Homo-oligomer: A and B are copies of this chain.
Amino acid sequence: MNAPHPAAQLRQQLYRDMEPLHLTPLWEVLHALVPRQPASPCVPALWRYEEVRPFLMRAGDAITAEEAVRRVLILENPALRGQSAVTQSLYAGLQLILPGEVAPSHRHTQSALRFIVEGAGAYTAVDGERTTMHPGDFIITPSWTWHDHGHEGNDPVVWLDGLDIPMVRFLDAGFAENDTRRSQVVTRAEGTSLARWGHNMAPVRHEKPFGATSPIFSYPYERSRQALEQLERDAAVDEWDGVKLRYVNPQTGGSPMPTMATFMQKLPAGFAGKPWRQTDGALYSVVEGSGEVTIESAAGAWRFAFGPRDHFVVPSWHTARLSSQPGCVLFSFSDRPVHQALGLHHEERLS
């Protein structure tokens, strides 16, 4: 057995000696710190709604919305168990509210999106205005706004929650407060925000009720679908995305929230998309129809068949491809605005 190399000995001694000072040598970890390309710790995953729904209903038996504050099953990335994260920066969960329940009012600096998956008759209230939920609607709870949810209809309502919880935790910037009231007082008629900002018009004076977040907090599915259908009929279908639009903050043209972008796309019948990869990992919610996604990285390959209300995650810099025989509609969200604001967004469209 050889004696250890003197330089190596010198270094090991150095490392030991300086350890108490919280010093560590860069050169031993440089390659991991500055990788050649992103190697996300996240993995692709699919949550089939027919498998998840029974657990949601059991959660409905196990705890009330009021006791839970928010009765949500978190979709955890299989490689990030225990972190309440579906990608490194994003949180996703499915929330159940039953007829007659209230999820009490609170506020926090984390931004939240709701995408309605099943049922009708529930509502969200944001800073004094309620909006009624319908499947396919995209609803925002802007950072630091009071919000509560309730349900005055007859059947269970389930929606997807998307939050920037891991991002805010990483930045050590989370604040929260509970309301003294169970439900907030309604001060504006339903639809006022959409009437003010949602018709390509705006109040004459430049109010920004929610700061950098969209003043529209409900984007009805009816409108989004109508736009996609008209474009499918008339315009060229993109070979990677089908017909895909991003939701917009009408005060800026940018993303609805500073931390999260949201998208809706329609794959025409028989669509077989080309592969792409990008630095922002995304969670998808299947609105209508069915299809297939294939995802590849150095670590492996995944193929998921999906149907209505299923959810799947495509991590950063994984190569993905979408196809759909009958055609389908997909909602998705990611942290792209953060990548773009920091000059870190990168995308490749492959052929």
Give A residues with C-beta under 8 Å from B. 7, 10-11, 14, 17-18, 21-27, 29-30, 33-40, 42, 45, 47, 51-52, 55, 58-59, 61-63, 67-78, 81-82, 84, 87-89, 91, 93, 108-110, 143, 164-165, 167-177, 188-189, 191-192, 195-196, 198-204, 211-213, 216, 219, 223-224, 226-227, 230-231, 233-235, 241, 244-253, 258-259, 263-264, 279-281, 315-317, 335, 338-339, 341-346
Contact B61 A231 (CB under 8 A): no
If A36-B177, A174-B34 touch, whether A248 touches B200 (CB-CB below 8 Å) is yes
Given known pairs A7-B62, A235-B189, the reply for A18 and B200 (CB within 8 Å) is: no
Would A171 and B47 be within 8 Å (CB), given that A55-B18, A176-B36 are in contact? Answer: no
A47: B residues at CB distance < 8 A: 21-23
Bound Cα distance A11, B63 (Å): 8
Closest to A256 in B: B200
Sample of 8 further A-B pairs with CB below 8 A, known A17-B58, A172-B317, A191-B230: A17-B55, A22-B78, A23-B52, A23-B55, A25-B73, A34-B108, A191-B234, A192-B231
Task: Known A74-B26, A109-B344; judge A199-B227 contact (CB<8 A).
Answer: yes
Question: Judging by beta carbons under 8 Å apart, are B27 and A72 in contact?
Answer: yes
A250 and B33 within 8 A (CB):
no
User: Which chain B residue shows the least CB distance to A165?
Assistant: B33
Of B61, B76, B168, B315, the contact of A344 (CB 8 Å cutoff): B168
Bound state CA distance, A339 and B259, in angstroms? 11
